[in-house]
């Protein structure tokens, strides 16, 4: 959960109503994310909403809270959780969370927590399972240590299977969309996507059988984006933070990966080295 700066200091919790999150709320949602210095463009919000259901909190038709639930098979990621700072301590964050948890139903729940949200998520039964390391900066070209090719829509079925094996998420529609929006990079046993996001480009997901393949995909992506702003949200245990820095992407914070109602992981030869985004896993 993130607290947005507000000029609505007279708001009362009793004045709040809730409604389903629709495209009509995107302009206000963008305003709220800009208030907390998130880099999301209107297009980034629209992408997340396209694979999500959610709820907004309203005060006299003004959006003062947002939360989305993105369902990917048996797993849901909860994301874009923002509360107007004027309503801090009045239970609005919990009310939003309870509503998106209800949307998720019996699915395993995942999210990436900010410092503001950690206490609430822990009270709701979420457990920390790892760290996401945000790296960004002006990309520098590098030579991949293994062959990397440019994929096409014909590769999407294989990409979806690798992603599902690595993450447990069924993201056919999402992956199909971002591949069309950006560039798909493929290796013998891995793939990555580079696309427009926020201040420039984002690299993610990066899925591979091992770290050497992941590094090759990252090097190719950085070379294609050389001289441009590039961001990647790395899974800490993948061990590629130092390599990202060598490619021009310095550490820029991150978040805590949390799970609730987690199901036993299915063993896989593939690993996720970078998320699509902190919102979408």
User: For the residues of 243-271, what is the DSSP string, one character each?
Assistant: HHHHTT-EEEEEEEEEEESPPPPPP-S-E
Any idea where the domains of the chain sit in the sequence?
A: 2-125, 133-255+264-274
User: Does residue 11 register a pLDDT over 60?
Assistant: no
**Cα maximum dimension of the chain:** 59
Candidate CATH numbers 3.40.630.30, 2.40.50.140, 1.10.3720.10, 3.30.365.10; the one for domain 2-125: 3.40.630.30
CA distance 86 to 83: 8
How many other CB atoms sit within 10 Å of the CB of residue 107?
A: 19
Residue 8 is predicted with a pLDDT of 44
Residue 60 is predicted with a pLDDT of 86
Residue 47 is predicted with a pLDDT of 98
Higher pLDDT, 147 or 88: 147
pTM above 0.85, yes or no: yes
CA distance 189 to 208: 6
User: Does residue 5 register a pLDDT over 90?
Assistant: no
pLDDT in tens, 12-37: 556 899 999 999 999 999 999 999 99
The CATH fold of domain 133-255+264-274: Aminopeptidase (3.40.630)
User: Does residue 6 register a pLDDT over 60?
Assistant: no
- Average pLDDT of the residues in 54-61: 94
% of the chain beyond a pLDDT of 90: 88
Token pair in block for residue 87 = 């309503």
pLDDT in tens, 99-158: 999 999 999 999 999 988 999 999 999 999 999 999 999 999 999 999 999 998 899 999
CA distance 192 to 257: 21
CA distance 206 to 175: 12
Model confidence at 1, pLDDT cuts 50, 70, 90, reads low
Consecutive H or E run containing 181: helix 172-181
Q: What is the mean pLDDT of the chain?
A: 94
Residues in the chain: 281
Residue 9 is predicted with a pLDDT of 40
Higher pLDDT, 2 or 57: 57
Listed in sequence order, the residues at least 6 apart from 239 whose beta carbon sits closer than 8 Å to its beta carbon are 211
Q: Are 51 and 70 in contact (CB under 8 A)?
A: yes
């Amino acid at each position: 959960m993130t607290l947005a700066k507000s000029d609505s200091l007279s708001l009362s919790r009793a004045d709040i109503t809730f409604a389903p999150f629709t495209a009509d709320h995107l302009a206000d949602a963008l305003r709220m994310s800009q208030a907390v210095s998130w880099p999301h463009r209107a297009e980034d919000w629209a992408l997340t909403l396209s694979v999500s259901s959610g709820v907004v909190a309203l005060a006299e038709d003004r959006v003062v809270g947002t939360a989305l639930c993105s369902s990917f098979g048996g797993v849901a990621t909860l994301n874009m959780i923002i509360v107007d700072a004027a309503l801090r301590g009045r239970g609005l964050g919990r009310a939003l969370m309870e509503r998106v948890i209800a949307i998720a139903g019996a699915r395993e729940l995942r999210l990436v927590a900010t410092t503001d949200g950690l206490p609430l998520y822990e009270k709701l039964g979420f457990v920390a399972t790892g760290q996401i390391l945000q790296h960004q900066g002006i990309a520098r070209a590098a030579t991949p240590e293994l062959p990397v090719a440019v994929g096409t829509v014909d590769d999407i079925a294989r990409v979806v299977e690798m992603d599902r094996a690595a993450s447990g998420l069924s993201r056919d529609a999402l992956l199909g969309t971002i591949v069309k929006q950006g560039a798909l990079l493929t290796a013998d046993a891995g793939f990555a996507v580079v696309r427009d996001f926020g201040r420039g480009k984002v690299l993610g997901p990066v899925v591979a059988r091992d770290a050497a393949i992941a590094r090759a995909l990252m090097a190719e992506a950085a070379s294609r984006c050389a001289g441009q702003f590039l961001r990647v949200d790395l899974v800490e245990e993948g061990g590629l933070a130092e390599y990202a820095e060598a490619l021009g992407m310095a550490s820029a914070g991150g978040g805590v990966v949390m799970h609730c109602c987690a199901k036993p992981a299915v063993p896989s030869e593939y690993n996720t080295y970078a998320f699509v985004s902190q919102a979408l896993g």
